[in-house]
Structure 1
Amino acid sequence: MEQSITIKAKLLNIDNETAQAFVQSMEKYKDACNFISQYVFDNNFELSQSKLNKALYHEIRDQFGLKSQMAQSAIRNVIARYKTVRTQLSQKPYRFDTGKKDSKGHAIWSQIPRDLDWLWKPIEFKRPQLDLQRGRDWSYLSSAQQLSLNTLQGRKKVSFVCKGFDQYLDADKWKFGSIKLLQSKQNWYVHISATTSLPEYSPEEAEHVVGIDRGLHFLAACYDEAGKTLLYSGEKVLRTRRKYKKLRAELQSKGTKSAKRRLKQIGQRENRWMSDVNHCLTKTLIDHYGANTVFALEDLTDVRFATEQTAKDKRYEMVSWAFYQFEQFLTYKANLNSSIVVKVPAKYTSQRCPKCGRIHKENRDHKQHLYVCDRCGYKSNDDRLGAMNIQLLGTLYRSGEEAPQFNKQASAE
């Protein structure tokens, strides 16, 4: 199994000539990506590398002056972006009210799967960037400990700083890929992709199984095979998000150019903060439980929070936390630590009593975050209870059951 990561490094002492070369190359590359994106949009979302290369390669080089490998990288970059959007659309089907009612008088909702045909306009590349391929467009100069980056004005040698970079120089373990050149204010950065080969990990080999229930009251409620619980509060996160929300509302009411610039800055800052929270939390989980662990998560694909039953002033917090990002971070860190992340069905995990198996929706009190079983009287925090049920499904998965899930009919017997 191969695991890819992104190494972030800051470039140092960039002179004006080098900066200008970077800026011009990044602008041309961005314009080429938008040109390719328009073509993909106009031609039934053609995403074949060979067909796009045949149709656009020479025109990209002539019109934008990109070098050979840069033109290829631009095509690959556009294809990757469209595939990402296609995946995101498939995970978020269009949901609409059918106008019908069920036996209890509740509205009946239906879903329509979405694909790239739902796009109204081509994907736009707004931020200047440049993708450089290992060997052809960039290299590491070990003697000078510098990076050699190709631009439209020739090669530029630059110094950089990256904590722990030496560990990735082991050619027997790590293999470098492409570099993405970015600018943030007056600073320059590169994101270097690196890939390592890992032995295939079998869940049956795991020593620990941890169920993790993700939420807003607790960002992560964890329960392991020893019966121990870890709860990571989300109250501080909610307060911070509400602060950003209030500040955005104030700036939006002003509507001035300076307010719009400030809005953009705040959005980027909040996204960076959210990523940092997820990074720190997933690292804490990996360090706490150690190697040979099965981390079981609910499969939240096609799961939508019931925002209609939530107060309007709390709906933003309910639907906008980066749960999928948390899953991605935990997955790659687990892979690098001889562990694995598995996804189990979310159905009934918050309604099932872990003591007697009773599944009853009304046993859960959302306001008090309490679950009380009406059959055996078992009581627990509802987030902890969800983690317990997820942990049980993870244990069944480790035992060899391919698709473990809870059955409501069986619980009624």
Structure 2
Amino acid sequence: MKIGVQVKLMPDAAQASALSATLRVVNERANWVSAVAFEHGVPREYELRKHTYSELKASGLGAQVAQHTIKKVRDAYTTLKANLRAGNLGRPGSKRRVKTESKPVMFRPEAAQPFDDRCLSWQYHARTVSIWTTAGRLKNVRFACSANALKMLCEYRKGESDLIERGGVFYLVAVCEISEAPVNENPSGFIGVDLGIVNIATTSTGYRAAGRGVNRHRKRQQDLRTKLQAKGTKSAKRRLKLRGRKESRHVANINHVISKKIVTTAERTGRGIALEDLTGIRDRVRLRKDQRTQLHAWSFHQLGQFIAYKALRAGVPLVYVDPAYTSQQCSQCGHIDRKNRVDQATFACRACGVIMHADDNASHNINRKGEAVWTAGRESRVPATP
């Protein structure tokens, strides 16, 4: 399992200038490679290298950096093709899709650049790195990180690290390969997790993460964005970027806390975790105009990813279930009726009369479906011997 560990670089003025210039040069060269790739119909990486490698070397890039620049461009086109195939950029013939397909991929001047062990070396105990730049090799560039991050780097770092500039601050994101824990093949049950907007997560064990604080924070940030967008000045645009990053960090931190709580409970009790498969929910659901902002700001996918990788590290079984009727079906008698859902928070079964919180009822339905999915996956499909 691969995990990215981010450290903050603390270069002096001369080192910061060299790092900034390096990013701008390699991304300018990446834009040239992208134009060549677009002109030749986006060839495979080996063919693209034949068209561009010599020119990159002649322009001052080192051999490894030139290789990584070509690979970065080819990977960008692979990602673009996947997004087009998935319909993330609109339907064929749509204005957005036609505009995207009609021009080469472009890279921002401060876009991330990968470095391998030939271009970047770590001195963990000294907390410094040595890195290639267009101005030569920089040595003793200090970095800062938490004790846990440093321990993970020392034990598990392997492969490439990405150099990133964000708001004038430089970061390195290193890849750490961590061995996965053996999965518990005989869980004592499953914890059903109902994801929502009013309540971020509700589990069948009784844990409920209220979304009141996050929603208030988002509403406050949205009001501030509206005011800044109305100004339209350079300073306002700069503040908009800072606000956006701050909101993303705030939401990610909350999702980390919730996912850790859920996975820790499952590990301690020897159970698995059952999540709803909410793929494509934004395309299926139709809401009023005043509700669309909340739906599109809903970070259920990020929370699901956090739960998935934490479960993988802890050896906790994880299954995905069909979300159909989990909010309309009674977890006690199984009766399905749209009228069972009285309002957002109340569930009242029309058949057996049970009344409970709607999210609690849904989490119990997900729990039951999770056990069924796990059992079906473990059953033998080989025909019985006559």
8 Å Cα contact 1:211/1:389 also seen in 2: yes
**Distance in structure 2 (CA, Å) of the matches to 1:95 and 1:402:** 39
Give 5+ residue unaligned stretches, structure 2: 380-386
**Distance in structure 2 (CA, Å) of the matches to 1:199 and 1:49:** 35
User: Amino acid of the residue matched to residue 213 of structure 1?
Assistant: D
SS in 2 for 1:197: coil
Partner of 2:145: 162
- Provide Cα deviations, 1:343-369, integer angstroms capped at 9, x if missing partner: 22222222222122222223223x442
Q: Aligned-pair distance for 1:230?
A: 1.0
Query: Once superposed, what is the RMSD of the aligned Cα atoms?
Result: 3.1
Give 5+ residue unaligned stretches, structure 1: 97-110, 404-413
User: Amino acid of the residue matched to residue 356 of structure 2?
Assistant: S
Question: Normalising by structure 1, what TM-score?
Answer: 0.80
User: Pick from 4, 7, 10: which aligns with 1:9?
Assistant: 7
User: Pick from 32, 36, 47: which aligns with 1:35?
Assistant: 32
User: Amino acid of the residue matched to residue 116 of structure 2?
Assistant: R
Partner of 2:384: none
**Distance in structure 2 (CA, Å) of the matches to 1:337 and 1:61:** 45
Residues 368 and 141 of structure 1, relative CA distance in 2, 3 Å threshold: closer
User: Amino acid of the residue matched to residue 303 of structure 2?
Assistant: F
User: Amino acid of the residue matched to residue 50 of structure 1?
Assistant: Y
User: Amino acid of the residue matched to residue 360 of structure 1?
Assistant: D
% of aligned pairs identical? Answer: 29
8 Å Cα contact 1:93/1:112 also seen in 2: no
Mapped pair 1:135 → 2:117? yes
Residues 276 and 93 of structure 1, relative CA distance in 2, 3 Å threshold: same
8 Å Cα contact 1:21/1:152 also seen in 2: yes
The alignment covers a number of residue pairs equal to 374
The aligned runs of 1:65-84 (5 Å cut-off) are: 65-84=60-79
SS in 1 for 2:61: coil
**Distance in structure 1 (CA, Å) of the matches to 2:230 and 2:180:** 52
Q: Aligned-pair distance for 1:198?
A: 2.2
Q: Aligned-pair distance for 1:377?
A: 1.8
Residues 116 and 239 of structure 1, relative CA distance in 2, 3 Å threshold: same
Partner of 1:383: 359
Residues 91 and 156 of structure 1, relative CA distance in 2, 3 Å threshold: same
Partner of 2:318: 341
Residues 124 and 206 of structure 1, relative CA distance in 2, 3 Å threshold: farther
Partner of 1:58: 54
- Provide Cα deviations, 1:271-321, integer angstroms capped at 9, x if missing partner: 2222222222222222333265422111111222666433x3332112222
8 Å Cα contact 1:331/1:340 also seen in 2: no
Mapped pair 1:392 → 2:375? no
Partner of 1:213: 194
8 Å Cα contact 1:134/1:177 also seen in 2: yes
The aligned runs of 1:175-324 (5 Å cut-off) are: 175-198=157-180, 201=183, 204-223=185-204, 228-290=205-267, 292-304=270-282, 308-310=286-288, 312-324=289-301
**Distance in structure 1 (CA, Å) of the matches to 2:93 and 2:168:** 45
Partner of 1:407: none
Residues 167 and 307 of structure 1, relative CA distance in 2, 3 Å threshold: same
Mapped pair 1:49 → 2:52? no
8 Å Cα contact 1:305/1:319 also seen in 2: no
Residues 356 and 318 of structure 1, relative CA distance in 2, 3 Å threshold: same
8 Å Cα contact 2:259/2:307 also seen in 1: yes
User: Amino acid of the residue matched to residue 264 of structure 2?
Assistant: D
8 Å Cα contact 2:319/2:374 also seen in 1: no
Question: Normalising by structure 2, what TM-score?
Answer: 0.85
Q: Aligned-pair distance for 1:243?
A: 0.8
Q: Aligned-pair distance for 1:392?
A: 1.2
**Distance in structure 2 (CA, Å) of the matches to 1:246 and 1:297:** 33
